[in-house]
Amino acid sequence: MRIATTDSVDTAELAELAASTFPLACPASVTADNIAAFIDANLSVVRFTEYLTDPERVVLTAHRDRRMVGYAMLLRGVSDDADVRRAVRVRPAVELSKLYVAPDQHGAGVSAALMDRAVATAAELGARCVWLGVNQQNQRAQRFYAKHGFTPQGTRTFRVGVRTEHDYVMIREL
């Protein structure tokens, strides 16, 4: 695991990994067009270049055999969303905005290692809690987060293209 910078990571490889893994977290009801719109708006090379230079974000990457196999993104603070603000009561907080692993690495410990590093990094940033949003239909991710100490504290809506999805807001106090 390492902290990614524009000098240390191939932004195109990161965007490609993000584009290939994001659909795995979407429920079957999300159309390919809405997934593509989300990827274009949020997971492009341009966007990752912005993320990597944003002082409020930390991007972590995992590598195996010189190939990027996973990434996580932390974002300092709590969003302006009223539902999130009600759910995340412990401050200062860091959002675990993204944590994705290549499908061929599922079950190989990469997700757990990324989570451990993300939580440790949030603590180093001075956070008293880490929060995240997870689709209410994504039972697998919910089990993973619960295994790592996250508990549901509320709900929020989340846009994927033109579709509104419903997330649980999960919190882990540090």
- The rounded distance, in Å, linking the Cα atoms of 160 and 47 is 16
**Residue 57 structure tokens:** 């974000």
- CATH code of 40's domain: 3.40.630.30
- The rounded distance, in Å, linking the Cα atoms of 9 and 76 is 21
Angle between the 11-21 and 45-53 helix axes, to the nearest 10 degrees? 110
- The rounded distance, in Å, linking the Cα atoms of 74 and 126 is 13
Question: Residue 100: its pLDDT value, please?
Answer: 96
Q: What string of DSSP letters covers 12-73?
A: HHHHHHHHHHGGGGS-TTS-HHHHHHHHHHHSSHHHHHHHHH-TTEEEEEEEETTEEEEEEE
Question: Residue 92: its pLDDT value, please?
Answer: 98
Taken as a whole, the chain contains a residue count of 174
Question: Residue 46: its pLDDT value, please?
Answer: 96
pLDDT tens for the chain, 174 residues: list them.
889 998 888 999 999 999 999 998 888 888 999 999 999 999 999 999 999 999 999 999 999 998 999 999 999 999 999 999 999 999 999 999 999 999 999 989 999 999 999 999 999 999 999 999 999 999 999 999 999 999 999 999 988 888 788 999 999 999
β-strand 2-3 against 57-64: which pairing, if any? Answer: antiparallel
With CA atoms as reference, report the closest residue to 57 among 121, 129, 128: 121
Question: Residue 28: its pLDDT value, please?
Answer: 86
Total tally of structural domains belonging to the chain: 1
Question: Residue 150: its pLDDT value, please?
Answer: 98
What is the DSSP secondary structure assignment for residue 91, as one 8-state letter? S
Q: Which domain holds residue 156?
A: 2-173
Instruction: Show Cβ contacts of residue 87 under 8 Å, excluding neighbours closer than 6 positions.
Output: 131, 153, 154, 155, 156, 169, 171
Question: Residue 161: its pLDDT value, please?
Answer: 80
